[in-house]
Structure 1
């Protein structure tokens, strides 16, 4: 064998060894980084603050989420990752790719701690909110104490609540109806502050110039929320909000009693199926059958739609409305009291005997 041939064969051998090593290394890395056997059973992985990628990789391997901790660590470094990993407890299912695991760690897709969740429906009163909170372990007494302690931030909606001894509940109408989530150890003070702050956030979603609209109607924010709460409690059909608002505005302009049933219902601990003449005579600043103008404050938590309707009423000549008793929960509107009485009769045609009104039970209270 000549020297030249020897070198050729030597070079070929080296190339074969290099190729073999490369292929072997590639197979090793590929298998080492391949997803672990898939499983539907989730696995919890703890990644405390200050933990290094090496320690994390070791736990991932120990929990069966990766095949090789060292390769995973090198892969993270190769990808330029690790610096954005967020501490916390994760829930992962075996079978995830390395890239999927890295993405979860970057996004901080941690296990959310079970906490306190509360949905406040539109038109709920403080009493009703307290009842819902009691089901979640917050005692009504603690909630009531938090309401009394609450100090509204300067410039917030609640900061404008008047010092009126006639107010039945100071923050009524100022706890915005929404779905909330808090940590399980959240106290009543935090709950009240969050719901009051949500009102300020939602008010920013009103059309531009809403404060000028409020001034045009000669209303304060407190009065606007009061009017909105009346709309919220009276209206079930979305398309009637602005029209009912127009009726209320008309009666206010003419200095008539508003005669709104919802203000009477607010006086009772529980909603009555039927109001009678004696109910309309209950002495209270909230009784809009006896008193002119708006009640001292809101009677419920109004939605943004009702607040907007209060600010932008529909132009109308109507002064009366009565609920249809056909199940639609819509209203019949009238310009005169005579037309209103006809509407009551029309509504009664489809009413059950228990819900039928008569002129002696519920009609216009003389001014």
Structure 2
């Protein structure tokens, strides 16, 4: 049987086909096959983050390929490691899917993991995980990183006088999702793969790609840390909401320049750039005298604002061209 389901093949056969596709990392001493992996931690400290992707809430199998899902799992998790100023070293990936899922789909997922690591974080390894069953596909990823002797870059370090920069684009993923909902659902509101593929191949392809298989500036994290970044985070829930998180943690005002934000959002509206989410760009505060390169790892670097001190009775927050900006963005508990 060339393309069995998981029910037909069983776990051992599925793993036999999947595991050889996973990349080994530079710091991996023991990868998949034992009860746990062994990974070297040269710095003596380990940066750890975890995230889930749930079918329905975070992706639709009618729009995303399994390769897309593997790719996106890497892009969305390793950017959090990068935002701490660390180099990604390893991933563990748990995947629960219906037993009717074909083993070839999981092979495509593994290839997506491997291709994304090779493209965005070479040297990082997929060192283990878990395979289980569930009525709907669920992906859980834990990512690890090494600081290489650096201090971690926190959200709480932005200082008055710092410049605020964005590495990567804003608003395009939200624009792609809007196109998919408008043009790739049938009358019963079910995803239509053919329609999604037409969009991906057409004039709106860049925004569809940004939604389904984003490319995040993972390599820029350590470079920005070395430039003296005082605060940094992954823009995953929308610029307005994520900038507000930095402002609150640092006890400052983040003053955004509307024209500069629009310049960081080619192909997207200012509304999408501010509130759309899933950009997986890096928002970073750098000392005023530091000017980063115009591009890092193939991603544009743009100054979009400044960090300002608060008046005695003023609360931390974000402004856009001097006016208060509501911290509105993606909130899974308020979606729908």
TM-score by length of 1: 0.23
Structure in which a larger fraction of residues adopt helix: 1
Answer with 1 or 2: which has the greater Rg.
Answer: 1
Q: Which has the higher contact order (CA 8 A, sep 6+)?
A: 2
